[in-house]
Structure 1
Amino acid sequence: MADLAPGFADVALDSQAVFRACMNALARPALPQPLATELAPPAPLTPELAALALAMADHEAPLWLDAALRGEPGVRRYLAFHTGARFVEDPAEATFALIGDAAACPPFERFALGSDEYPDRSTTLLIAVNRLEAAEEFVFTGPGIKEPIGLGIAPLPSGFRQQLHANAALFPRGVDLIFTTTRRIAALPRSSRLIGEA
């Protein structure tokens, strides 16, 4: 393990800071928030995705990695060592799904969507993107959004707009989405509704 990249310098404080940033993003959907981290995980795992995983995943919260991240053995070793989480092959069994290639993100329906009795038993998708900023590409309303707010995200898989509409229609079931880019994070909880045509 001598060549393993380090995790948080201060596990308690750094985890709390990342968790707080995540909660702020979920409380203010579609509004980019700062996410500072000094992590240097093995590529193609980004520092921001690594920070979220280290702050939230553990032995009770299994991880699913997309093909881009599974293709680098060092990523799995890094996450296993620093989180203690087990890895699942079926995305529907994951508490958290790490998506390194947003354009190839599987359809939401492949992940755990929760049930009417236990809507919290769903997958949270942690997605690395190149662009995450205020824009009018996608405009949202819903809890935590005082006035309609726009968000620009790229890259994205084809049919993403339709998937957002379908996900919101499942509420209280559905997946939650957390996007990251360099030192930024933005969330789209399942309660957020996309304005515009599907």
Structure 2
Amino acid sequence: MFEAEVLSGGFSNPAQDSARAFRACLEAMARPGRIQQIVGAVPPAPLSPAAGAILLTLADATTPIFIAKSHDTEAVRKWIAFHCSAPVVVSGEADFAIGTWDALQPVSQFAIGTAEYPDRSATLIVECEDISAPTAALSGPGIETTQTAYLPTIDAFAANGAQFPLGFDCYFTAGSQLSALPRSTKVETL
């Protein structure tokens, strides 16, 4: 059963499923706070289908991933290795980090880019129980006036946005739902 769980769970129709998932990832970043549906992956627990689809779409052998303690299981490591070929690394070397918000602390351990290369920063995939109940008001690029969204905390994301163009970007996942928060977004309490 364990090996079957590791070998299965990828996209059943890779070309179409990855194109749809890529579009959902782009839409989420382009429209911060708006919830997108992303399907096609069935990763081992505790990875959500949305987080699995993000990894299948955006990670490959050149994409170092940090797995926080909340998600660091043998099944998850093997599933990522088999489906993405992505190396698992320490937090400071990661292009992507996956885990619950609490498990990803402190966020200062992740790359935020440099003045010369602000794109050399980490993207956090924050696994949540639910992302439908808004806790923050967002404004900035991709938002006409304001957008409400769920964030696990406000202060850390406001501080992250204040570093722009440096900072980390985030995807928030719950089940098959995903939303995003690029570092360019201004965050305020509702």
Task: Give the counterpart letter for 1:127 in structure 2.
Answer: V
1:35 pairs with 2:34 = no
Q: 1:162 aligns with which of 151, 155, 161?
A: 155
The Cα shift of 1:63 comes to 0.6
Give the TM-score normalised by structure 1: 0.88
The Cα shift of 1:161 comes to 1.7
Would the aligned equivalents of 2:70 and 2:103 in 1 still touch at CA under 8 Å?
Answer: no
Q: Which residue in 1 is equivalent to 2:82?
A: 81
1:109 pairs with 2:108 = yes
Would the aligned equivalents of 1:5 and 1:42 in 2 still touch at CA under 8 Å?
Answer: no
Q: Which residue in 1 is equivalent to 2:15?
A: 12
2: CA distance between counterparts of 1:117 and 1:51? 31
5+ residue gaps, structure 1, are none
The Cα shift of 1:2 comes to 4.9
The Cα shift of 1:22 comes to 0.4
Task: Give the counterpart letter for 2:148 in structure 1.
Answer: G
1: CA distance between counterparts of 2:43 and 2:178? 18
Q: Which residue in 2 is equivalent to 1:97?
A: 97
Show structure 1 runs of 4+ deviating over 6 A: none
Q: Which residue in 2 is equivalent to 1:22?
A: 25
Q: 1:48 aligns with which of 25, 47, 50?
A: 50
SS at 1:139's partner residue?
strand
5+ residue gaps, structure 2, are none
1:106-185 equivalences under 5 Å are 106-133=105-132, 135=134, 137-153=135-151, 156=152, 160-185=153-178
Would the aligned equivalents of 2:33 and 2:150 in 1 still touch at CA under 8 Å?
Answer: no
Would the aligned equivalents of 1:126 and 1:178 in 2 still touch at CA under 8 Å?
Answer: yes
Identity between Structure 1 and Structure 2 (%): 36
The Cα shift of 1:103 comes to 3.1
Q: 2:59 aligns with which of 57, 60, 70?
A: 57
